Amino acid sequence: MFQQIFHFFQKRQTITLSSEALDRLEQESQKRGIKLHLEVKILRETGGRGQIQVGFTKEEDLSKYHPIFGHLISDEDFQSLAGGEITYSKEEGRYQYYPNVDLEWEDTPRELIKRIKANRSFTKQNQVWTSEMGTKFEPIQYILKKKEIISCYAKGNKLQIEFLNFPIPESLMEDISESILIYFAYLYPHLCESSHNRQ
């Protein structure tokens, strides 16, 4: 049975703060003379692509801090970022986010269908796309536009792809994996959002 695993980053269970991120927080706390926390938000463009915004806060109401993360963040943004790592780049002078994505390719009983299992969720409910349907999320649209692909089906953390011909080139699988990594890295919403299913 064919199985290929693409490990882009180490799998994690919560949002991790790197030593650089913690050092920068401590520096700012010392500079202001008060204990600070981070405030983390995801800002989204019209097409769904997101970017992380990290700032400092002196919020005194401890109940407002996330019970797992220990900093200010909404439950929705925490779920989107959980499993990744926030670090700080001195060169760029800003906080950065790394998604820590694992993808595992699996065979199915039908040789023209492959299943990709991720350590992230694609959907909250079942969803099917064909090349004719499309989607507004560019990384997934890129996959659907490939002439070798007939359709995609997503459920939870699994994405199933039906191909036109067998054998399936490894280069094509790597290209698809890269597109999925981009989808997660740019923090697109879940694929099941009905407003984004069609062009």
Question: pLDDT per residue over 9-56, tens digit each?
Answer: 444 468 999 999 999 999 999 999 999 999 999 998 877 888 899 999
Tell me, what's the pLDDT at 123?
80
Domain at 16-98, CATH homologous superfamily: HesB-like domain (2.60.300.12)
Average pLDDT over residues 141-157: 87
| Dist CA 187 CA 190 (whole Å) | 9
- For 97, the 3-state DSSP assignment is strand
Is there a contact between 186 and 50 (Cβ–Cβ < 8 Å)? yes
| Dist CA 70 CA 65 (whole Å) | 5
pTM of the predicted model, to two decimals?
Answer: 0.74
- Residues of each domain in the chain carrying CATH 3.30.1370.70: 3-9+101-196
Question: Is pLDDT of 7 > 70?
Answer: no
Is there a contact between 162 and 149 (Cβ–Cβ < 8 Å)? yes
Is there a contact between 84 and 97 (Cβ–Cβ < 8 Å)? yes
Which numeric CATH code is attached to 3-9+101-196?
A: 3.30.1370.70
- Residues of each domain in the chain carrying CATH 2.60.300.12: 16-98
